[in-house]
Amino acid sequence: MSTLAQQIVNGLVLGALIGLIALGYTMLYGIVQLINFAHGEVFMVGAFGAHFVSLRLLPADTPWYTALPVMCVTAVAVSVAVAVAVERLAYRPLRGAHKLAPLITALGVSILLQEVVRVFYPGATAPLAFPRAFPDGHLVLGPVTVLWTGVLALAVAPLLAAALHLYVERSRLGRAMRATAQDPETARLMGIDPDRVILATFVLGAALAGVGAVLYGIHYTQIDTAIGFQNGIFAFTAAVLGGIGSIRGAMLGALSIGLVKSLAGQYAWGGAQYDYVWVFALLILVLMFRPQGFLGRPERVRA
Amino acid sequence: MTLVAERLFMSFGGLLALDGVSLTVPDGGVVGLIGTNGAGKSTVLKAVSGLLRPHRGEIRLRGRPIHHLPAHAVLAAGVAHCPEGRRLFAGMTVEENLRLGGHLRRDRHVAKDMARVYDLFPVLGERRTQRAGLFSGGEQQMLAIGRALMARPALLMFDEPTMGLSPIMIRRILDTIALLRNQGTTILMVEQNALAALMLADHGYVIDLGRTTMSGPGTDLLADPRVRAAYLG
Amino acid sequence: MTSSFVRDRPVTEAPSRREPRPAWRSAPGAALVLLGALSPWASAVIPGGAYPGLATLQFFDAPYLVTGFRLHLLLLGLAALLPRASRAAGAGAAVIALVHIAFLAALGVLSFGGPVTLAGGALLIWLGRREPAPEWKLPSRALAWPILVAAFAALLWAVSAMLTAGGQSRATNPHGGAEFLSFLGFAVGLFGILSAYGVLSWLSALAERHRAFSLTVLLACAMLLPLTEAGTGYWMTVASTIGIYAATAIGLNIVVGLAGLLDLGYVAFLGIGAFTAANLAHVVSFPVAALAGAVVAGLLGVVVGAPTLRVRGDYLAIVTLAFGEIFFRAAQNDIGGLTGGANSIPGIPPITLFGQGFDQPVGGLPAGFLYYALTVLLVAGTMAVLANLKHSRTGRAWLAIREDEDVARAMGVRTGRAKILAFLVGATLAGLAGAVFAHKLGTVGYESFDFSESVTLLAAVILGGMGTVPGALVGASLLFVLPEKLREFSDYRLMLFGLALILIMRFRPKGLVSS
Ligand SMILES: Nc1ncnc2c1ncn2[C@@H]1O[C@H](COP(=O)(O)OP(=O)(O)O)[C@@H](O)[C@H]1O
Ligand SMILES: [Mg+2]
């Protein structure tokens, strides 16, 4: 019983972190029908940016309540800069090209970013210890213990998702995003510049991924260049599971993915070595039998 | 002249859709564009609004060339295009659709204009928080017109605004367009319903196979036996 | 719903008519390239022996001896004077210059000839004429056959030169990487010039018309490779490894290039073939094991292909990626004791036929020749399958699906059957290649089948040109020769592949082979 509860909580924490990546996937796919493989790497470079600023630029005795915000801002800045560069240089020239072209380009960008970090970031050929920019220790709830970093993730991720929801629902830019997702041609007749909407989508998604990267790093305490790809695929699965285009769906989907991985690792055949396999199996089943996801209509950004 | 389009050429993969169409819309005038299905009417409007880029030819709005502008910049320049089939944002409310119509507006009169639209179409005002997809065809057309008006355009273009509507609704929409005309709005209107278009229009053009085959004052065209034979059955 | 990036791009303007550029515009660029070819390239004698022939200031002692890359530059500079050739020649010269500048810079040596040549190349590209290649009439059969033989002989020479360019190891030639890349630049220029004059498309049309003859000659030429400079055990081994990946890439080309189904887990089929053969190696003879590998892989191909009935486009790519990952994880964990997990499966015996081990030399031929010959047959076989399918009813159905699945269905194409068939054929070929792979290496482990291998294969297909017959062969040769040649760059391998994918999609989405 206590193992079950513990695994549920572990799964939810992982899910919350994946959810922050999934939000970017769901928005972008909703608007341009692009699986931006590189979004996972945008998350990954954010983590390395935070790692860099904390180890190289901040004094060693910086208290966590200073270090954490600085790391978050850096991660967001790095993620956003990379995402914008990728959009401008790689994707924008391909608007209107054959449908495989953007997908293959996305794959290329993903590999390029991973490899650039692996080769040029000092020490990145092996996993790196992430700075502990949050109080150690854990919250004890009956049989369950949660690291404070986990509590932070569980609090922040849904909060950011809700904020994004409100922004997309209420703001002028959010309205333009929804309009572009629903009917890009008519959106242009409303004076909406699709390039700006797409860029804004990249920026929003990258910012959330950047925050997620820091939360991920402090919770799991180490990062490597593969965290983007793996978690990116999970996040994409989550976005599809929740109904691609749906912000709430992405968060719910991510929490479910986290649960599946955690519980399958504990209880399913093969144990922890096969937990990924179960997530991928779930992914295949969802794509095959319910591509519109749990929350209804496909391919629309809805808040 | 509000709009001058000169010798537009446009083809879709070898198929010539516009074969040298020219037309002008005078300030405050209503111009009707008639022709059979597939004649190229919608393509003309899309070329003007920047959804399509003509391969050759020139389009000027109040003397300023606009044929090289992307669609969103054409709207900013002052052309609103109310597209064929209405193309509302079905998942959004009436109010959101209207706000999108005025998306580029930064002035303080947006609220006033929205009130004007609700005055023009009270049914929209009553149901402003309902989703556009739930409305009947006529109501959707009203919303589409209102959405176009929200941009405060120098030129308002309608593509088959009466398509698929009941006779009562057709009457209602045409009355509205007449009202806009009387308020001095410059209008370019595409209609398959030639009678309605030519009754409303100061000037009409007949398009066939991407070419202007006839043009003249609306009443003259109405009287022309060839037009009567071909388009008024 | 189709999923192009933005669905309603305005139709672009028809290309405006440009003034034809006068021929003299290529003169300054060509002059710079020639000047560069004859200038000193290194400001000092560099360590590790004379850098590619006469590359230092010592050059002035022997001004008439122009060899190696200088000869290439000289040829390109002269060719650049031909009006259509200047852009391609400029590109080739620029690549050569860049390679040498970079290598010399890495040695801490400045170059004079390098920047001059680079400037000349850039000028040629910039000012050169870009016009469609002329079309030539196809000759009669009496002429066609000798022409094809000559063309393939030239190709054989090119392949041999490419393989051996820069030598075999860093021990014998510390500058081998530079020499190889530089040679590649020359090849790029040469092929560019040929394609600018329509020679390549003319030859491929010719080969297409005389398909059976071409294939025979090609096969014969390939068998002659051991008689060239490349005829050593080392190069035979390298060539047969390339051949295995090339055959696999050709199979992938059927799935991605012809049918337009992006498969991101394709290397799994190579793995399934390899593991199947490895498990049967001590039980049955090679042909049976190979057949089993192909059949098992083909069956699993159908399983992976089944979702295509329900899943479209980019979702399909994710599904195949997921299958690939599942295979990889399962192999890693030694599922059912079939893959050896982290220990791999060692001790797979080499193929033997009539008592002749394939790893032993036969007659005067180098060791490894038999494996080489086997992979040549494998590649030829897969190419024949691809070529025949491409022109069959099925092939036309695939092309229709690739362009627009809904339209294809409306035209009466049985899309479901066709898509499954693409996966079946592709997987079977990969399985067959996997069986050879297992026997040739003697040991099979899961690491050989990770995602990056799928990406490399995909890059090979895309580099070569999706759906073209020789495309995957060219692409695979490049992608698997390069790491062999550039050991010092092995760390950058994947990075460069990623970059290549992006650049090709941007600038040459139809690949390098198609004109
Ligand atoms: N996007 C398109 N692709 C290909 N052909 C098109 C496209 N849009 C219009 N056409 C063709 O151009 C011609 C003119 O179409 P259109 O302007 O829509 O006619 P209409 O006068 O009925 O509005 C028709 O033959 C139509 O088939
Ligand atoms: Mg029309």
Confidence of residue C131 (pLDDT cuts 50, 70, 90): confident
Is residue B68 domain-shared with residue B164, that is, in the same domain? yes
Residue spans of the domains in chain A: they are: 2-289
Q: What's the predicted TM-score (pTM) here?
A: 0.86
pLDDT of residue C55: 43
CB contact under 8 A, A291 and C491: no
User: Among residues of chain A, what percentage have pLDDT more than 70?
Assistant: 97
Question: Given the CA of residue B39, which atom of ligand 1 is nearest to it?
Answer: 21
Separation CA A172–CA B76 (nearest Å):
16
Atom 16, ligand 1: residue with shortest CA distance? B40
Strands A128-129 and A222-223: antiparallel
At position C226, the amino acid (one-letter code) is P
Chain mean pLDDT for chain C: 82
* DSSP category for residue C490: G
Q: Which region among A78-82, B50-54, B195-199, B212-216 has the lowest average model confidence (pLDDT)?
A: B195-199
Q: Which region among C44-48, C376-380, C458-462 has the lowest average model confidence (pLDDT)?
A: C44-48
CB contact under 8 A, A107 and C5: no
- Residue B120 sits in which domain range? 91-152
Between C200 and C329, the more confident residue is C329
pLDDT of residue C311: 81
With 70 as the cut, is the pLDDT of residue C210 above it? Answer: yes
With 90 as the cut, is the pLDDT of residue A154 above it? Answer: yes
Between C263 and C130, the more confident residue is C263
- Distance between A179 CA and the closest CA of chain B, angstroms: 7
Atom 9, ligand 1: residue with shortest CA distance? B43
**In chain B, which residues have their Cβ closer than 8 Å to the Cβ of A178?**
89, 91-92
Between C53 and A157, the more confident residue is A157
Is residue B74 domain-shared with residue B163, that is, in the same domain? yes
Query: Among all chains, which residue has been given the structure tokens 């672009």?
Result: C12
Confidence of residue C512 (pLDDT cuts 50, 70, 90): low
Residues contacting B188, CB < 8 A, separation 6+: B3, B25, B31, B33, B45, B48, B155, B156, B157, B158
SS3 content of chain B, % helix, strand, coil (to 5): 40, 25, 35
Tell me which CATH code domain A2-289 carries.
1.10.3470
With 90 as the cut, is the pLDDT of residue C40 above it? Answer: no
Residues within a 6 A CB radius of ligand 1: B 12, 15, 17, 35, 37-43
pLDDT of residue C158: 84
Between A297 and B87, the more confident residue is B87
Confidence of residue C46 (pLDDT cuts 50, 70, 90): low
Confidence of residue C505 (pLDDT cuts 50, 70, 90): confident
Q: How many CB atoms lie within 10 A of CB C447?
A: 12
Q: List phi, psi (to 5°) of A3.
A: -60, -45
Is residue B163 domain-shared with residue B72, that is, in the same domain? yes
State the helix-helix crossing angle for C471-485 and C141-164, rounded to 10 degrees: 20
Is residue B65 domain-shared with residue B107, that is, in the same domain? no
Confidence of residue A1 (pLDDT cuts 50, 70, 90): low
Is residue B18 domain-shared with residue B74, that is, in the same domain? yes
Is residue B159 domain-shared with residue B230, that is, in the same domain? yes
pLDDT of residue C49: 52
Buried (b) or exposed (e) across C390-415, using 16+ Cβ within 10 A? beeebbbbbbbbbeebeebeeeebeb
CB contact under 8 A, B51 and C14: no
Q: How many domains does chain B have?
A: 2
Atom 1, ligand 1: residue with shortest CA distance? B12
* DSSP category for residue B107: S
Between B66 and C82, the more confident residue is B66
Helix residue ranges, H only, C337-404:
369-390, 393-403
Query: Which residue among B10, B15, B213 is best mutated to probe the pocket of ligand 1, counting the most ligand atoms within 8 A of its Cβ?
Result: B15
CB < 8 Å from A in window 163-222 of B: none
Separation CA A70–CA C391 (nearest Å):
61
CB A248 within 8 A of CB A56: no
Domain assignment of residue B95, yes or no: yes
**In chain C, which residues have their Cβ closer than 8 Å to the Cβ of B51?**
8, 10
ipTM of the predicted structure? Answer: 0.93
CB contact under 8 A, B87 and A193: no
Nearest to C197 by CA among C298, C129, C273, C296: C129
Is residue B157 domain-shared with residue B228, that is, in the same domain? yes
Between C182 and C255, the more confident residue is C255
| C-interface mutation test, from B8, B15, B53, most C Cβ less than 10 A away | B53
Separation CA B24–CA A270 (nearest Å):
75
CB C157 within 8 A of CB C228: yes
Closest chain C residue to B68, measured at CA:
C13
H helix count then E strand count, chain C? 19, 2
Give the 3-state secondary structure of residue A264: helix
State CA C313 to chain mean position distance.
25
For residues C329-342, average pLDDT? 90
What is the full DSSP assignment across C90-132?
A: HHHHHHHHHHHHHHHHHTT---SHHHHHHHHHHHHHHHS---P
User: Among residues of chain C, what percentage have pLDDT more than 90?
Assistant: 27
Residues contacting A285, CB < 8 A, separation 6+: none
Query: Which residue among B36, B43, B159 is best mutated to probe the pocket of ligand 1, counting the most ligand atoms within 8 A of its Cβ?
Result: B43
Long-range contacts of B13-17 (CB under 8 A, 24+ apart): B16/B209, B16/B210, B17/B43, B17/B210
Protein residues within 5 Å, CB atom, of ion ligand 2: B 42, 84
pLDDT in tens, C400-430: 998 888 888 888 888 889 999 999 999 999 9
Q: Which CATH number fits the domain that encloses residue B4?
A: 3.40.50.300
- Domain spanning C231-477: CATH 1.10.3470: yes
CB A70 within 8 A of CB A58: yes
pLDDT of residue C172: 64
Domain assignment of residue B178, yes or no: no
**Ligand 1 centroid vs B21 CA: distance in angstroms?**
14
Query: Which H or E run contains A168?
Result: helix A148-170
**Cα angle: B52, vertex B9, A189; to 5 degrees:** 20
Structure tokens at A233: 């695929």
**Ligand 1 centroid vs B11 CA: distance in angstroms?**
9
Is residue B10 domain-shared with residue B64, that is, in the same domain? yes
Residue spans of the domains in chain C: they are: 23-205, 231-477
Is residue B201 domain-shared with residue B220, that is, in the same domain? yes
With 90 as the cut, is the pLDDT of residue B66 above it? Answer: yes
Separation CA B18–CA B5 (nearest Å):
12
**Cα angle: C474, vertex C478, C483; to 5 degrees:** 160
Confidence of residue C24 (pLDDT cuts 50, 70, 90): confident
Closest chain C residue to B52, measured at CA:
C10
Separation CA A233–CA A231 (nearest Å):
5
Is residue B232 exposed (0-12), middle (13-18) or buried (19+ Cβ within 10 Å)?
A: middle
Is residue B103 domain-shared with residue B38, that is, in the same domain? no
**In chain A, which residues have their Cβ closer than 8 Å to the Cβ of C328?**
none
Give the 3-state secondary structure of residue B206: strand
pLDDT of residue C15: 42
Confidence of residue A226 (pLDDT cuts 50, 70, 90): very high
Residues contacting A159, CB < 8 A, separation 6+: none
Q: Which region among B85-94, C22-31, C110-119, C369-378 has the lowest average model confidence (pLDDT)?
A: C22-31
Q: Is the dihedral of CA A145, A151, A157, A159 positive or negative?
A: positive
Structure tokens at C378: 């494998």
pLDDT in tens, A155-184: 999 999 999 999 999 999 999 999 999 999
CB contact under 8 A, A104 and C262: yes
- Distance between A172 CA and the closest CA of chain B, angstroms: 8
Q: Which chains touch C (3 or more CB pairs under 8 A)?
A: A, B
With 70 as the cut, is the pLDDT of residue C169 above it? Answer: no
Is residue B127 domain-shared with residue B189, that is, in the same domain? no
What is the full DSSP assignment across C142-190?
A: HHHHHHHHHHHHHHHHHHHHHHHTT-S-TTT-TTHHHHHHHHHHHHHHH
